[in-house]
Amino acid sequence: MATTNDIKNGSVLNLEGNLWNVIEFQHVKPGKGGAFVRTKLRNVRTNKVVDKTFNAGTKMDFATVDRRDYQYLYQDGADFVFMDTSDYDQLTVAGEAVGDAANFMLESQTVQIALHEGEVLSIELPPSVVLEITYTEPGLQGDRSSAGTKPATVETGYEIQVPLFLETGTKVKVDTRTGDYLGRVN
């Protein structure tokens, strides 16, 4: 049985019948009293975030999570279809489980899917992706009312803020965690 010493970011805990993903953790050893572990946990099914503190050395029930590479094939209504790159099995994932990752996924892109007993827990994208701008207004050099940025729609349909000099058809690097523009790609 594992203890609080085995907690890492990305670990999945089984607490009170629910699965919780560890977002942050910190081992604390105060000058007086026993050591403890302070954690920030996200409920896998509801996305609710809670802070929870455990005494050091407490036995924990870690859920078995299988992380595999899948290739995104296509969107089927509200669902998304992926293919396991090792055995070519297809997996259909509900749109709610995909969440914000849909804003950055292109067909044939490789993503990592975390599964627990056949249930999709999360879809993990690379830290950044390259997307093409499909529409943006022409930027006027003298227009500084918006701090030098303007809205642009990328090929997935997601809207980001980009510098004024970028035009339709430009490829840009986008942070998948925040949706921020990171730079232009040649």
Domain boundary residue, one of 34, 60, 86: 60
Q: Is the pLDDT of residue 1 over 80?
A: no
Residues 53, 14 share a domain:
yes
As for how many domains the chain has, the answer is 3
- CATH number at 73 reads 2.40.50.140
Rounded to two decimals, the pTM is 0.73
Domain hosting 82: range is 66-124
Q: For the segment 105-152, what is each residue's pLDDT rounded down to a tens digit?
A: 999 999 999 898 888 888 889 999 999 999 998 866 665 555 678 899
- CA distances to 72, 147, 161, 169 from 151, rounded to whole Å, are 27, 12, 5, 14
